[in-house]
Amino acid sequence: MINKKIKQPCKLCKNNAGFIFDKKIMNKYLSSYYECKKCKFIQTEKPYWLKEAYENPINDEDTGLIRRNFGMSKISSIVIFFWFNKRGLFLDYAGGYGLLTRLMRDIGFNYYWTDPFCLNIFSPGFELTKKNKKIELVTAFELFEHMENPIKDLEKILKHSKNILFSTKLIPKNTINISKWDYLYPEHGQHISFYSQESLENLAKKYKLNYYTDGVMIHLFTEKKISKILFSNIPRFKDILYFFSKIGLSSKTHEDNIRIGKK
Ligand SMILES: [Zn+2]
């Protein structure tokens, strides 16, 4: 029998994940954290506290929500501009209150929203339906670290598209102080899966996809072969690149207003 305190199977590659430290979740539940010896993925013990952690799906303390959505709308526009059909259909997966979907439609992209846990406040009328087939690119920001079953959840996203632009902070290269890493956020209990660059490389390979990253936070799984250097520099030059990415697009703000008004 496996001693839970010592090791667990890695949720990504099934190799041994060894105990690394304990941490108090939501100031009340003590959880162990495990690191995969092979792919370096880190997972908490079975997160029995999730129901409580999601009583309010978007944290009250998440003061960066609006700013992050503006930043991600720029990054998404640039990635679409360089490598995808800008007239295609796009989906913001686990899109929260629908802010990114609205921002992307305001820029001029045909964007849709889906999220089983949140109310679509900012982009009503643009929920994903069965008619929305052939999604060019899915965006999934700040989602992967919330996944209880990353393989199952990723496969759900892959049913929509083989191109996924997502964000999650990579485990730092130097893990000496990993128990103090701010991205663990034990206070709110929602971050339960943490990825090394290697673990994401392996995941992409498993589904025969190419993997691109900025080495910190922004990642792309795609069937396409693109420039590694250009992709990794997008966050650094996002303001200037965003300026070019909008050329030739016309905002859907007014068009949507008329469309929703007719419903
Ligand atoms: Zn692993």
Classify each residue of 174-203 as buried b or exposed e, where b means 16 or more C-beta atoms within 10 Å of its C-beta: eeeebeeeeebebeebbbbbbbbbbbbebb
Res 118: pLDDT: 86
58 CA to centre of ligand 1 in angstroms = 29
Res 25: pLDDT: 96
Question: Predicted confidence band at 94 (pLDDT cuts at 50, 70, 90)?
Answer: very high
Res 60: pLDDT: 67
Res 49: pLDDT: 96
* E strands present in 117-248: 135-141, 164-167, 193-194, 210-213, 218-222
| Packing angle of the helix pair 99-107, 65-83 (nearest 10 deg) | 40
168 CA to centre of ligand 1 in angstroms = 17
198 CA to centre of ligand 1 in angstroms = 9
197 CA to centre of ligand 1 in angstroms = 11
193 CA to centre of ligand 1 in angstroms = 11
- What residues contact residue 254 under an 8 Å CB cut-off, 6+ apart? none
Token pair in block for residue 130: 């069965």
Res 133: pLDDT: 77
199 CA to centre of ligand 1 in angstroms = 7
Spans of all domains in the chain: 7-53, 65-262
pLDDT tens string 98-118: 999 999 999 999 999 999 888
Question: What CATH code is assigned to 65-262?
Answer: 3.40.50.150
pLDDT tens string 203-260: 999 999 999 999 999 999 999 999 999 999 999 999 999 999 998 899 998 888 888 8
245 CA to centre of ligand 1 in angstroms = 37
Would you say 231 and 220 are in contact if contact means Cβ atoms under 8 Å apart? yes
157 CA to centre of ligand 1 in angstroms = 20
Res 59: pLDDT: 67
Question: What CATH code is assigned to 7-53?
Answer: 2.20.25
Residue 13: count other Cβ atoms within 10 Å of its Cβ.
20
The structure's pTM equals 0.93
Residue 52: count other Cβ atoms within 10 Å of its Cβ.
12
Beta bridge partners of 164: 138, 221
200 CA to centre of ligand 1 in angstroms = 10
The amino acid at residue 206 is K
